[in-house]
């Protein structure tokens, strides 16, 4: 008898957590170099995927992870790919911590570490950047590769295994720590799938959420996943081509954002211009007040001088009158 819903054994669900904490079934790699060091320069790799796999294995073993930052073509038409630390870039400051509704944070800390993967005519090789600042991190090593989303990606074989276990596997039904005989579940549960994948790939860090995401991607677009499996590429991590309506909406959002930026700039320029005019008016008012004070002082001095002259005239007149009376 088959049941559409799936239920994991309580024992299986309970021991998956301690296993992840204890490092089992995930087995960290032994350090392939000094902590936080760059992968050795040079080497010969058949493809960019091979370079990516090698540098990711090396970097996660020494305390960090890398992602592809950007790529461009050189003059002969060959690719030059920049690998950067997964903590590169400045953290977004869209919302202040006091106003943030969700307790989320960014791992970005503007780390400048990075190196190149250079495509040559018959191989790929690793080259360091000229400035030595790009060979150093501005943060310490991570506690576990499980903390790096870039390291927790399923390859095409693992995606195929998740798909097969989801569709064709069977598991037992448990109720109150007891197995219910005769009842099975269509598809293997997430915890069992995780254990199977980790037993086959012990050095690949995986969390239950990665299995959930892979199963959700398979459900959303099974044909795309099947095409990716056939081409041996993890199609679940590539975005589907946007539809015409999505492109129009994206263009409208960009235009709206650009118009908003221009409006904010005009408002800011107007505010600065108004502030400058107000400052000039205040300066002129100060000059006018000083000029008025100067005029008042001059008038007061004129009045004082007039009074003094009047006093002198009165004294002279009184003197002449007294001399005439004698």
126 and 170 in a single domain? The answer is no
35, pLDDT greater than 70 = yes
Taking CA atoms, 275 is separated from 127, 280, 285, in Å, by 53, 9, 15
Residue that wins the pLDDT comparison between 229 and 317: 317
Residue 5 domain-assigned (yes or no): no
Residue that wins the pLDDT comparison between 261 and 316: 261
191 and 139 in a single domain? The answer is no
183, pLDDT greater than 50 = no
The total of other beta-carbon atoms located within 10 Å of residue 152's CB is 19
> Within 13 A of 58's CA, how many CA atoms are on the CB side?
19
220 and 302 in a single domain? The answer is no
Residue found under tokens 């060979």: 135
87: domain range? 18-93+103-144
> Which pLDDT does position 217 carry in this prediction?
82
In the chain, count H helices and then E strands.
Answer: 7, 8
129 and 40 in a single domain? The answer is yes
Residue 282 domain-assigned (yes or no): yes
Residue 326 domain-assigned (yes or no): no
Number of domains in the chain: 3
> Which pLDDT does position 25 carry in this prediction?
66
Residue 1 domain-assigned (yes or no): no
1, pLDDT greater than 60 = no
Identify which of 43, 143, 147 has the alpha carbon closest to the alpha carbon of residue 86.
147
> Which pLDDT does position 280 carry in this prediction?
92
6, pLDDT greater than 60 = no
Q: For residues 145 and 65, is the Cβ–Cβ distance under 8 A?
A: yes
Q: Which of 48-62, 174-188, 295-309 has the lowest mean pLDDT?
A: 174-188
Confidence category of residue 29, pLDDT binned at 50, 70, 90: confident
228 and 282 in a single domain? The answer is no
Residue that wins the pLDDT comparison between 241 and 198: 198
- Of 185, 217, 235, the residue that ends a domain is 235
* Structure tokens belonging to residue 169: 């596997």
Residue 246 domain-assigned (yes or no): no
> Averaged over 68-93, what is the pLDDT?
86
169 and 285 in a single domain? The answer is no
Strands, sheet with 124-128, edge to edge from the N-terminal-most edge strand: 42-45, 124-128, 114-119, 79-85, 66-73
> Which pLDDT does position 282 carry in this prediction?
92
120 and 191 in a single domain? The answer is no
192, pLDDT greater than 50 = yes
How far, in Å, CA of 266 to CA of 260, rounded? Answer: 10
Q: Which of 11-20, 149-158, 227-236, 298-307 has the lowest mean pLDDT?
A: 11-20
Residue found under tokens 């170099």: 33
Q: For residues 137 and 111, is the Cβ–Cβ distance under 8 A?
A: yes
- Mean per-residue pLDDT of the chain: 78
32 and 130 in a single domain? The answer is yes
Residue that wins the pLDDT comparison between 170 and 134: 134
Query: For 195-202, which contacts have Cβ atoms below 8 Å and span 24 or more sequence positions?
Result: 195/12, 195/16, 195/19, 195/25, 196/161, 196/165, 197/154, 197/158, 197/161, 197/162, 198/25, 198/26, 199/25, 200/161, 201/158, 202/25, 202/26, 202/27
83 and 45 in a single domain? The answer is yes
57, pLDDT greater than 80 = yes
> Which pLDDT does position 82 carry in this prediction?
93
pTM to 2 decimals? 0.58
> Which pLDDT does position 116 carry in this prediction?
94
Confidence category of residue 196, pLDDT binned at 50, 70, 90: confident
49 and 160 in a single domain? The answer is no
pLDDT tens figures, 76-87: 888 999 999 999
325, pLDDT greater than 50 = yes
Residue 56 domain-assigned (yes or no): yes
> Which pLDDT does position 121 carry in this prediction?
87
Residue that wins the pLDDT comparison between 13 and 234: 234
161 and 188 in a single domain? The answer is yes
How far, in Å, CA of 32 to CA of 52, rounded? Answer: 15
> Averaged over 277-294, what is the pLDDT?
91
Residue 262 domain-assigned (yes or no): no
Residue 248 domain-assigned (yes or no): no
Q: DSSP E strands: which ranges in the chain?
A: 2-3, 42-45, 66-73, 79-85, 114-119, 124-128, 170-175, 178-186
22 and 133 in a single domain? The answer is yes
Q: For residues 187 and 4, is the Cβ–Cβ distance under 8 A?
A: no
Exposure letters 171-181 (e unless 16+ CB within 10 A, then b): bbbbeeeeeee
């Amino acid at each position: 008898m088959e049941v559409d819903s799936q239920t994991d054994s309580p024992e299986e669900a309970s021991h998956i957590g301690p296993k992840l904490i204890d490092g089992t079934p995930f087995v960290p790699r032994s350090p392939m170099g000094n902590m936080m060091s760059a992968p050795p320069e040079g080497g010969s790799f058949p493809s960019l995927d091979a370079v990516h796999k090698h540098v990711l294995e090396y970097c996660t073993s020494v305390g960090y992870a890398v992602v592809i930052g950007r790529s461009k073509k050189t003059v002969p038409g060959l690719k030059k790919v920049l690998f950067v630390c997964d903590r590169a870039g400045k953290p977004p400051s869209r919302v202040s911590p006091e106003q943030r509704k969700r307790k989320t944070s960014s791992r970005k800390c503007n780390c400048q570490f990075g190196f190149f993967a250079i495509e040559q005519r018959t191989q790929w090789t690793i080259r360091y950047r000229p400035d030595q600042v790009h060979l150093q991190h501005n943060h310490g090593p991570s506690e576990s590769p499980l903390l790096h989303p870039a390291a927790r990606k399923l390859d095409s074989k693992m995606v195929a295994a998740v798909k097969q276990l989801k569709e064709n596997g069977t598991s037992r039904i448990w109720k109150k720590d007891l197995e219910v005989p005769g009842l099975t579940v269509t598809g293997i549960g997430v915890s069992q799938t995780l254990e199977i994948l980790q037993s086959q790939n012990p050095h690949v860090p995986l969390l239950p959420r990665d299995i959930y995401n892979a199963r959700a991607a398979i459900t959303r677009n099974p044909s795309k996943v099947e095409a990716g499996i056939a081409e041996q590429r993890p199609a679940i991590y590539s975005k589907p081509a946007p539809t015409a309506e999505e492109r129009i909406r994206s263009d409208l959002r960009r235009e709206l954002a650009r118009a908003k930026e221009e409006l904010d700039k005009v408002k800011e320029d107007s505010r600065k211009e108004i502030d400058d005019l107000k400052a000039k008016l205040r300066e002129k008012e100060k000059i006018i007040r000083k000029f008025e004070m100067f005029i008042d002082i001059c008038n007061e001095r004129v009045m004082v001088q007039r009074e003094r002259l009047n006093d002198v005239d009165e004294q002279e007149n009184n003197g002449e009158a007294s001399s005439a009376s004698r």
